[in-house]
Structure 1
Amino acid sequence: MPAISQSVTLLAHTPDALSLIYAAFRQCYHPGDVADLWPRLLAGEVAPQKQADFVGRILASGHESPIEHVSFSFAVAGVSRALTHQLVRHRLASYSQQSQRYVDAAGFDYVLPPAIAAIPEARECFEAAMERAGAAYAELQEILTRHGRGAKANEDARFVLPNACETKIVVTMNCRSLLHFFELRCCLRAQWEIRALALAMLGLCRQALPVIFDRAGARCERLGYCPEEERFSCGRFPRLAEIPRSSV
């Protein structure tokens, strides 16, 4: 039952992503049918930099809906059930998570919070709790199997598993949902584990589609000020109320 580290892999994204976004934007302002333009885009007749410049200008005006046509899919492992409970609150997304009903969790790996790892007595207490949970799970499996639950023993024994229990999940979001996810979860006030996930995903997105994600991140980075109330601000950026009106 070792502590485990997070890993994030970009499985796939919509093919010809930049050209698709460019075509979608162009359709909004073009009297013709962009289906006629599409073969030229695939043939490279419109330079990628020209496409990127056009998309960047329109995005800067606040028009974002066409980027919803492109999606990214990630394989995430080495994360806790505490993280995925937060992750699935982002509704405009698709999730496929490892099942604790069908996957035997005996000897489960777990996520060890850095704050706990840094304090020897806290780490000792935490690791002992993981051992107790693992032992209780195995004992319940045995008892339930002996009483006829058979293959269904896991689905009842799992009730003693902790939030720290490691899980794996496949996540798919469109670009617009990803931008919103990054605004909230790259913030310094986001919990450390989901912030690490968001930053890893953002790095992969920036490599794949920089015109959309180069300026993505916490909301304060885009706005230049913190939109939170004073008690929720980390202090990295001034709050809007603290900025002189002439500067806004």
Structure 2
Amino acid sequence: MKVTLISHTQDAENLLIFTKATRLTLSPGLLDQIRSASHEDKMRELEYMANTIPSSWEFVDYVFLVEGVSRAYTHQQVRTRAASYAQQTMRVLDMGKYDYVYTDGNRANPEAMEVIESVNTIIQDAYRHLLSLGQAVEDARGILPTNISTNIVCKFNLRTFVDLAKARTGGRTQSEYQKVVNAMVDEVLRVHPWAEKFLFQQGRDYFAEIEAFAQREYGGNLLKKGELLKIVDKMRKEVAK
């Protein structure tokens, strides 16, 4: 899995402050005044903005290229509707030789890996056989696995991305989904360190360590693991108040 921030709004901090300030004043030189303000003044204003009406956040955009992820993940990602996506197609591409995304749980079990690898061999042979029988690529794709590797481009504005990060960097979110969103967060903070004020007002979510423990200790016992994760969710919500 690889996540790359391929485009983002330039001059974002000044644009954020400007769009917020226009509610009260809109003078011809306002943007230039904001640009000439001190770094400290801008950071104070952004900290205030992180805790107020988020409509101005929608003026800042981030575009990510996400490579080598499963369609199981992308099926979940595209449910975030206030975003734009462009995904590799299986309707016209010949997927006779595909890569498969193994989960951490798969890799931890050699016997499970053997089963998955043997099934993938059968699927690839069957897919190619369907094509040889004259089946269209768009018809043959129906037998391909959910965890087939794919690439996707995702575009979010800051408001949508903040909501995504808060919801998908911890909790009972699928492990791959968490890893992708955490990688996106790292990419955003690399170019906009001030964005942490918006993304994690209480600091980054360290409850993830407890969730990782639950996965290690109770991975095979869904009832015990689910009970512990529900408690962690309640703790997280209390801290966020």
Q: What TM-score comes out, normalization by structure 2 length?
A: 0.82
SS at match of 2:4: strand
Instruction: Quote how far apart the aligned CAs of 1:220 are.
Output: 9.5
Match of 1:149? none
Match of 2:42? 51
**Aligned counterparts of 1:218 and 1:48: Cα–Cα separation in 2:** 20
Instruction: Quote how far apart the aligned CAs of 1:114 are.
Output: 1.2
CA RMSD of aligned residues (A): 2.7
**Aligned counterparts of 1:181 and 1:199: Cα–Cα separation in 2:** 10
Match of 1:111? 101
Counterparts of 1:70-85 in structure 2, within 5 Å, are 70-85=60-75
SS at match of 1:233: helix
Match of 1:3? none
Of 121, 134, 138, 1:155 maps to 138
Of 85, 91, 94, 2:84 maps to 94
Q: Which amino acid aligns with 1:50?
A: D
Ranges in structure 1 where 5+ consecutive residues have no aligned partner: 1-5, 146-152
Q: Does residue 230 of structure 2 align to residue 233 of structure 1?
A: yes
SS at match of 1:238: helix
- In structure 2, relative to structure 1, the CA distance for the partners of 1:67 and 1:179 (3 Å cut) is same
Instruction: Quote how far apart the aligned CAs of 1:212 are.
Output: 2.3
Structure 1 contact 182–198 (Cα < 8 Å) conserved: yes
**Aligned counterparts of 1:240 and 1:114: Cα–Cα separation in 2:** 27
Instruction: Quote how far apart the aligned CAs of 1:216 are.
Output: 2.2
Bigger radius of gyration among the two: 1
**Aligned counterparts of 1:199 and 1:75: Cα–Cα separation in 2:** 14
**Aligned counterparts of 2:16 and 2:201: Cα–Cα separation in 1:** 23
Instruction: Quote how far apart the aligned CAs of 1:234 are.
Output: 5.2
Q: Name the count of aligned residue pairs.
A: 221
Of 3, 25, 31, 1:8 maps to 3
Match of 2:32? 39
Ranges in structure 2 where 5+ consecutive residues have no aligned partner: 208-225
**Aligned counterparts of 1:240 and 1:158: Cα–Cα separation in 2:** 42
Match of 1:150? none
**Aligned counterparts of 2:200 and 2:118: Cα–Cα separation in 1:** 37
SS at match of 2:155: strand
Percent identity for Structure 1 against Structure 2? 29
Match of 2:210? none
Q: Which amino acid aligns with 1:118?
A: A
Q: Which amino acid aligns with 2:31?
A: W
Structure 1 segments, 4+ long, off by >6 Å, are none
Which structure has greater helix proportion?
2
**Aligned counterparts of 1:230 and 1:220: Cα–Cα separation in 2:** 25
Match of 1:211? 194
SS at match of 1:104: coil
Instruction: Quote how far apart the aligned CAs of 1:231 are.
Output: 6.8
**Aligned counterparts of 1:85 and 1:27: Cα–Cα separation in 2:** 38
- The 10-residue stretch of structure 1 (229-238 or 74-83) with the greater mean CA deviation from structure 2: 229-238
Q: Does residue 17 of structure 2 align to residue 66 of structure 1?
A: no
SS at match of 1:22: helix
Q: What TM-score comes out, normalization by structure 1 length?
A: 0.80
Q: Which amino acid aligns with 1:233?
A: K
